[in-house]
Amino acid sequence: MTSELDIFVGNTTLIDEDVYRLWLDGYSVTDAVALRVRSGILEQTGATAAVLQSDTMDHYRTFHMLERLLHAPPKLLHQLIFQIPPSRQALLIERYYAFDEAFVREVLGKKLSKGTKKDLDDISTKTGITLKSCRRQFDNFKRVFKVVEEMRGSLVDNIQQHFLLSDRLARDYAAIVFFANNRFETGKKKLQYLSFGDFAFCAELMIQNWTLGAVDSQMDDMDMDLDKEFLQDLKELKVLVADKDLLDLHKSLVCTALRGKLGVFSEMEANFKNLSRGLVNVAAKLTHNKDVRDLFVDLVEKFVEPCRSDHWPLSDVRFFLNQYSASVHSLDGFRHQTLWDRYMGTLRGCLLRLYHD
Amino acid sequence: MPGKLKVKIVAGRHLPVMDRASDLTDAFVEVKFGNTTFKTDVYLKSLNPQWNSEWFKFEVDDEDLQDEPLQITVLDHDTYSANDAIGKVYIDIDPLLYSEAATVISGWFPIYDTIHGIRGEINVVVKVDLFNDLNRFRQSSCGVKFFCTTSIPKCYRAVIIHGFVEELVVNEDPEYQWIDRIRTPRASNEARQRLISLMSGELQRKIGLKVLEMRGNAVVGYLQCFDLEGESGLVVRAIGTACTLDKLSSPAAFLPACNSPSKEMKEIPFNEDPNPNTHSSGPSTPLKNQTYSFSPSKSYSRQSSSSDTDLSLTPKTGMGSGSAGKEGGPFKALLRQQTQSALEQREFPFFTLTAFPPGFLVHVGGVVSARSVKLLDRIHNPDEPETRDAWWAEIRQEIKSHAKALGCHAVVGYSESTSICEEVCILSASGTAAVLNPRFLQDGTVEGCLEQRLEENLPTRCGFCHIPYDELNMPFPAHLTYCYNCRKQKVPDVLFTTIDLPTDATVIGKGCLIQARLCRLKKKAQAEANATAISNLLPFMEYEVHTQLMNKLKLKGMNALFGLRIQITVGENMLMGLASATGVYLAALPTPGGIQIAGKTPNDGSYEQHISHMQKKINDTIAKNKELYEISPPEISEEIIGSPIPEPRQRSRLLRSQSESSDEVTELDLSHGKKDAFVLEIDDTDAMEDVHSLLTDVPPPSGFYSCNTEIMPGINNWTSEIQMFTSVRVIRLSSLNLTNQALNKNFNDLCENLLKSLYFKLRSMIPCCLCHVNFTVSLPEDELIQVTVTAVAITFDKNQALQTTKTHVEKSLQRASTDNEELLQFPLELCSDSLSSHPLPPAKEHLESASSNSGIPAAQRAVTVEKASPVGDGNFRNRSAPPCANSTVGVVKMTPLSFIPGAKITKYLGIINMFFIRETTSLREEGGVSGFLHAFIAEVFAMVRAHVAALGGNAVVSYIMKQCVFMENPNKNQAQCLINVSGDAVVFVRESDLEVVSTQQPTANCQSSCTEGEVTT
């Protein structure tokens, strides 16, 4: 006796969250059944393995049919075929677009192209995430990217509107899209200690302050691209390290203010010029795409690592950066205060976030 | 020219890409009614076209309005080649033809293609202007309302129940016409869909005419079926019950109509008798009149059998005939006279209803059924479908005579079905013989015929159990005792019926789904030989199905079956029998005896041991079941009511006589005496198997109940959480081991596994009851068995489910108080005044305590919170809510029941009757047979919901999937499926929403309900 056909269709579509997770994680029906058996569900419910197999198949079939709609979430809301309560629809969408930390770290900042897609095999092996799940996550990134790429207005709002994601997840996607668009390098070994959260945090600050949208929300192409003019202007900051007097004055202002307040004062004093040069040079180089991509590498190399090697506590870093940015306002010969604030305000936030072990 | 149909095409959305080059579509729409076609403009390059057309107006006869569906075709415009069809929408405009239903059809309809399924949606507005037509000889029957519901619909009152209406129309099946060889599958499918739609319309119109002739205004319990007879044609037939209904007009639209007798039927919870104090035990007699007949069709062939199979267990024995008839007798005679006159005018005193206004049903005799085997022959003249008519008339005649034999003048819960395999067709009809109160059947001299003085004389709560036949002249040997409730009248020891449990019946404990399953191999044969072979097998199947039911019923410790439905399916090389019913313990009937096993060779020691081991197992199971279903009738010694003289135990006796003569009688008589003596004789391995299979039926997991009636006896506190579903399974038998036994086991496993899967799937709804569980078996091919189940799972309130283990006394004490809560949570829209006087069936103290509590309904009922899904929205995280919280698609509930728990139906919008064909030539790509059928059923649901929503409704009640014919050809990567569904589109309002309105206007309707209350109690 073999089952040729075995289906269950409810007027309200039944969604089993556990099975949905297994499906999203890319397990085959057989694996999913095995995992469910291991979870002890048979004992709890008194069901048989055959029942579980049939149930799993059924849910997988439903998810497979829903997947087409999940690619354009507003369709899921308007379609008539599956009657699903709104809260369940939201859950389906949210889970479908959720991603694994390990996976996103692998592709963050990479071009979302066929080439990268070919590397998914390796990523799957490396992260232990099934290839199927990798594909789904990658395709999600790419799909969101494609839809919002050419769109005006706030990146987060656009994503939320077209994919109906929660605020949190929409922000994460904004970061992913932003990174992919600007191709920031995140895979270098020295950046491995950084989490996706760290990058997403920086991305949000940069979107808020360094893009065209930050200045004028009526502009095209807004949140995705850095403000070219702004990057060009950043060259002007070079004077802070190029002009020896200005550099000395800046140092003395910072040192006076921080004397006695910093545990690592002497180290700071000794390193001031190096650090300052590092930070200003990063700014000055941002006109080149290549250097934009290396932004995070540079920041870690030029600032995070030196401080870390001197064992600066985070509080000292904060004191220093606050004072370092603020003191510039007292430099009479320096004319680019606004530019400096736009640059340093964001950079300070990023650095503080990046500064950990 | 009595009607103008107006149609407006507004917009489309989610259309498929028809032009690969641009990834867009140039869509336009053709609107066709009858022979007139209109077209919209082409809306270029869009998947979401906005046509916003003018009103297309069709001027048509109302006859056409009834017959024809409105046909909307969406096409892709192509300059150089033929326009490609995207899909179609058929809209039945019948609901617009009677005044109280829908006034406009407006909404998004899925665009359906028989090859591709749903492809986008289209927004359509449809209106009808009807002109009055006073022509007496008109052919239309506009205005007659149709209901699938098999009880008087909620917001109506039955003035007169006229009786049986039937009609059938036949045609050639387009699939078998010569033209089918040259046209595309799509064209052929569409021709079929359209034809069936037309035939349904015609059928409905003709039935409507009959109703008008009877001076009725509605058909209740309308059941329409298709017989796909293949080469010989297509038959669409329908039966129903003609009624005159009165709309319960209430001052406020929402004000619950408290005086509706029909409403009470449904909405009053079934009650357990708090203290069934008059029980005793006595000899038991399963009573059941199971009759069948079959005759190989051709008129020249002889009638092979026409017989009563009376499976009753006791010969007429010491029946205390003394005082029994004293009170009931003369009255009964009087009643009979009246009923007779009322009913005898009718050709067939049949009623498709399964639930009745209080007082309608006087006595129930038992199940009557008839089957007939026919050879199909090409229908030569579709306009004269006399053969088919004659076939059914023959069967109905037989049913009528069986009912007569049971001393009954009417048949209720009547239904008809067919099973077709190649050119052999089994026609079946079954129902419950009953004696009815004539008052409802006559043209109304009695105003508002439901107020009966007569009823005062009748013991309503147990009356229906009392035998209708003359005990001294019984149609078959039965074992009678005095009614355990009133102790005045005689009752049988077991009662089988096809109806729902009457609301006023006293039930002890809970009920459960009982199924008998059976397969019989038969040789492949041609034509007449085949028909004869089937005819010969039928009585054995009936007998075995019946025995299984009886055994299982006893094993459950119960004494009555409701909603019995026996389906016999014929295949190439086998016959399948599947009987489903809901077992209950009726307080009025005697306690069922146990089951005793008798061995054949009593001297063998080990054998004896084995037997006693089995016996123990059976006894244990009975005890366990009694606990599980809370069956604890009070033990009262027999002497108290002077039960009939117990007689010495008799061995089971099986009499079979069979001959080839035309008046052949197959008599199966299984009789024995004492109540404990239902004897199973194990005389061969077969019997052993049977006993084993009895014990292998696993009870549902804890927290689950199931029944095939409307609702579960013994559970009252339903929540509003419902989930309707359809599940289909097909198994392939390995042809090697095709023995009857292996077949039985396979079939049994199939059904049991299916139930297990359902319990598992719906586990999140526990505590829950599967109601109206409807199994359908078909044999699509040699080695395939297909089982389709449709049911609704309803969650009930746990608190009351938990008080199961209480002793009876405690329970009865508690019951009085808990009943109040039940009342309050149950869908009664009680104006606080009406509650006290609600015509409740239960004993007086209930009413009193209920009234004392009637002040608090608001707070109590707020408990029934709407939950849209069985899976609930429980653990969805409270992250910032994404913007999708407000879905634009309204929820449409579907249920096979006639009501919606926790809600009140305020309006019936019309009947939904839809037929779909889906075909694929890329089966693998669509996920194999499972993927294909899963998607199709989901699409069918979607189309039903869309039509209901467009009518302005939010639910379908009495939903039924009448047909699901699935054919596959995996080698060709092809499959085809036909589905026919029907139901009543309704508007319902949540109890909680009603609250405000009803408390504001507690006056008018309550008066009438008070008077009623008096009458019924």
Please tell me the predicted confidence (pLDDT) of residue B799.
66
Please tell me the predicted confidence (pLDDT) of residue B502.
86
Would you say residue B349 has pLDDT above 90? no
Q: Mean pLDDT throughout B495-511?
A: 87
Pairing assessment for the beta strands B234-247 and B156-171 based on DSSP bridges: antiparallel
Please tell me the predicted confidence (pLDDT) of residue A31.
94
Please tell me the predicted confidence (pLDDT) of residue A52.
93
Would you say residue B882 has pLDDT above 50? no
What are the Cα distances from residue B612, in Å, to B8, B258, B413, B550, B686? 76, 57, 41, 21, 18
Please tell me the predicted confidence (pLDDT) of residue B1012.
37
Residue B751 in contact with residue B787, Cβ under 8 Å?
A: yes
DSSP-assigned beta bridge partners for residue B566: B579
Pairing assessment for the beta strands B3-13 and B117-130 based on DSSP bridges: antiparallel
pTM of the full structure: 0.82
Please tell me the predicted confidence (pLDDT) of residue B382.
62
Provide the shortest C-alpha distance from residue A270 to chain B (in Å).
47
- Determine whether A231 is exposed, middle or buried from the number of CB atoms within 10 Å of its CB (0-12, 13-18, 19+): buried
Q: What is the DSSP string of B706-745?
A: E-SSSS-TT---EEEEEEEEEEEEEEE--GGG--HHHHHH
Residues B932-949: pLDDT tens digits? 999 999 999 999 999 999
What does residue B898 show for φ and ψ, rounded to 5 degrees? -90, 5
pLDDT band at B927 (very low <50, low <70, confident <90, very high): confident
Smallest CA-to-CA distance from B840 within B157, B358, B249 is with B358
Please tell me the predicted confidence (pLDDT) of residue B472.
64
CA–CA separation, B679 and B311 (whole Å)? 14
Q: Mean pLDDT throughout B442-461?
A: 45
Amino acid letter, B215: R
Choice between A222 and B524, residue whose per-residue pLDDT is larger: B524
Amino acid letter, A183: R
Please tell me the predicted confidence (pLDDT) of residue A23.
96
Smallest CA-to-CA distance from B33 within B54, B55, B60, B52 is with B60
Residues B45-68: pLDDT tens digits? 889 999 999 999 998 877 788 888
The answer to whether the CB atoms of B757 and A8 lie below 8 A apart is: yes
CA–CA separation, B14 and A78 (whole Å)? 9
Smallest CA-to-CA distance from A147 within A133, A157, A137, A136 is with A157
Question: Residue B614, by phi and psi: left (phi above 0), alpha (psi -120 to 50) or beta?
Answer: alpha
Task: Please provide the size of chain B in residues.
Answer: 1017
Please tell me the predicted confidence (pLDDT) of residue B452.
41
Question: Residue B159, by phi and psi: left (phi above 0), alpha (psi -120 to 50) or beta?
Answer: alpha
Residues 6+ away with beta carbon under 8 Å from B49: B11, B12, B15, B25, B27, B43
Token reading at B432: 């419950």
Task: Give exposure, B951-968, as e/b (b: 16+ Cβ within 10 Å).
Answer: bbbbbbbbbbbbbbbbeb
pLDDT band at B228 (very low <50, low <70, confident <90, very high): confident
The answer to whether the CB atoms of B730 and A84 lie below 8 A apart is: no
What does residue B962 show for φ and ψ, rounded to 5 degrees? -80, -25
Would you say residue B385 has pLDDT above 90? no
The answer to whether the CB atoms of A65 and B729 lie below 8 A apart is: no
The answer to whether the CB atoms of B757 and A161 lie below 8 A apart is: no
DSSP annotation of B580: E
Per-window interface: B 899-928 vs A, CB < 8 A: 927
Per-window interface: A 173-232 vs B, CB < 8 A: none
What is the percent of chain B where pLDDT is above 90? 27
| CB count in 10 Å sphere of residue B1007 | 14
Would you say residue B666 has pLDDT above 80? no
Residues A69-95: pLDDT tens digits? 999 999 998 889 999 999 999 999 999
Please tell me the predicted confidence (pLDDT) of residue B110.
94
Q: Which of B94-108, B712-726, B807-821 is predicted with the least confidence, judged by mean pLDDT?
A: B807-821
What are the Cα distances from residue B533, in Å, to B301, B529, B537, B570, B578? 14, 6, 6, 11, 19
What are the Cα distances from residue A27, in Å, to A13, A63, A132, A246, B951? 21, 13, 8, 62, 43
From the list B726, B930, B935, the residue facing A5 with the nearest CB is B930
Residue spans of beta strands (DSSP E) within B2-153 = 3-13, 27-33, 36-39, 56-60, 70-76, 84-91, 105-113, 117-130, 145-146
Provide the shortest C-alpha distance from residue A48 to chain B (in Å).
9
Would you say residue B839 has pLDDT above 50? no
Residue B76 in contact with residue B83, Cβ under 8 Å?
A: yes
Residue B857 in contact with residue B284, Cβ under 8 Å?
A: no
Token reading at B901: 């728990």
Please tell me the predicted confidence (pLDDT) of residue B759.
92
pLDDT band at B238 (very low <50, low <70, confident <90, very high): very high
What is the percent of chain B where pLDDT is above 70? 66
Would you say residue B426 has pLDDT above 80? yes
Q: Mean pLDDT throughout B478-498?
A: 81
Residues of B in contact with A86 (CB under 8 A): 884-887
Q: Is B833 helix (H, G, I), strand (E, B) or coil?
A: helix
The answer to whether the CB atoms of B14 and A10 lie below 8 A apart is: no
pLDDT band at B800 (very low <50, low <70, confident <90, very high): low
The answer to whether the CB atoms of A47 and B758 lie below 8 A apart is: no
Please tell me the predicted confidence (pLDDT) of residue B837.
37
CA–CA separation, A254 and A356 (whole Å)? 23
Q: Mean pLDDT throughout A20-31?
A: 95
Pairing assessment for the beta strands B595-599 and B678-682 based on DSSP bridges: parallel
Number of inter-chain CB pairs under 8 A, A vs B: 189
pLDDT band at B690 (very low <50, low <70, confident <90, very high): low
Choice between B15 and B612, residue whose per-residue pLDDT is larger: B15
Pairing assessment for the beta strands B145-146 and B218-228 based on DSSP bridges: parallel
Choice between A167 and B479, residue whose per-residue pLDDT is larger: A167
Would you say residue B309 has pLDDT above 80? no
Residue with tokens 């739609």: B197
DSSP-assigned beta bridge partners for residue B146: B219
Q: Mean pLDDT throughout A50-71?
A: 94
Please tell me the predicted confidence (pLDDT) of residue B979.
94
Residues 6+ away with beta carbon under 8 Å from B766: B703, B704, B795
Per-window interface: B 818-847 vs A, CB < 8 A: none
Residues A228-276: pLDDT tens digits? 888 888 888 888 888 888 888 899 999 988 888 888 888 888 888 888 9
Please tell me the predicted confidence (pLDDT) of residue B379.
62
Would you say residue B529 has pLDDT above 50? yes
Per-domain boundaries in chain A: 17-83, 101-210, 228-354
CA–CA separation, A205 and A158 (whole Å)? 18
Q: Mean pLDDT throughout B264-285?
A: 35
Choice between B1000 and B305, residue whose per-residue pLDDT is larger: B1000
Please tell me the predicted confidence (pLDDT) of residue B787.
95
Residues of B in contact with A11 (CB under 8 A): 723-725, 893-894, 941, 945
The answer to whether the CB atoms of A11 and B725 lie below 8 A apart is: yes
Please tell me the predicted confidence (pLDDT) of residue B820.
37
Residue A63 in contact with residue A70, Cβ under 8 Å?
A: no
User: How high does pLDDT run on average in chain B?
Assistant: 73
Helix (H) or strand (E) holding A205: helix A196-210
What is the percent of chain A where pLDDT is above 70? 97
Would you say residue A341 has pLDDT above 70? yes
Please tell me the predicted confidence (pLDDT) of residue B436.
85
Please tell me the predicted confidence (pLDDT) of residue B29.
95
Pairing assessment for the beta strands B361-375 and B410-421 based on DSSP bridges: unpaired
Is A5 in the B-facing interface, judged by CB distances under 8 Å? yes
Q: Mean pLDDT throughout B438-450?
A: 52
Would you say residue B664 has pLDDT above 70? no
Would you say residue B425 has pLDDT above 70? yes
Is B616 in the A-facing interface, judged by CB distances under 8 Å? no
- Determine whether B825 is exposed, middle or buried from the number of CB atoms within 10 Å of its CB (0-12, 13-18, 19+): buried
Token reading at B168: 């059938």
Is B50 in the A-facing interface, judged by CB distances under 8 Å? no
Provide the shortest C-alpha distance from residue A15 to chain B (in Å).
7
Please tell me the predicted confidence (pLDDT) of residue B568.
93
DSSP-assigned beta bridge partners for residue B431: B368
Q: Mean pLDDT throughout B170-189?
A: 81
Would you say residue B111 has pLDDT above 90? yes
Is A1 in the B-facing interface, judged by CB distances under 8 Å? yes
Please tell me the predicted confidence (pLDDT) of residue B803.
42
Laid out side by side, the sheet with B903-920 consists of B893-894, B955-969, B974-990, B903-920
Task: Say how far residue A251 (Cα) sits from the centre of its chain.
Answer: 35
How far is the first Cα of chain B from the last one, in angstroms, to the nearest whole number?
52
Would you say residue B805 has pLDDT above 60? no
Q: Mean pLDDT throughout B441-465?
A: 51
Token reading at B829: 């829209």
Q: Mean pLDDT throughout B652-676?
A: 33
Residues A135-190: pLDDT tens digits? 999 999 999 999 988 887 888 999 999 999 999 999 999 999 999 988 999 988 88
Choice between B653 and B502, residue whose per-residue pLDDT is larger: B502
Which residue of chain B has the CA closest to A167? B880
What does residue B664 show for φ and ψ, rounded to 5 degrees? -55, 140
Would you say residue B841 has pLDDT above 90? no
- Determine whether A281 is exposed, middle or buried from the number of CB atoms within 10 Å of its CB (0-12, 13-18, 19+): middle
CA–CA separation, B190 and B808 (whole Å)? 61
Residues A186-218: pLDDT tens digits? 988 889 999 999 999 999 999 888 887 666 555
Please tell me the predicted confidence (pLDDT) of residue B576.
92
Which residue of chain B has the CA closest to A161? B883
Please tell me the predicted confidence (pLDDT) of residue B766.
85
CA–CA separation, B195 and B69 (whole Å)? 10
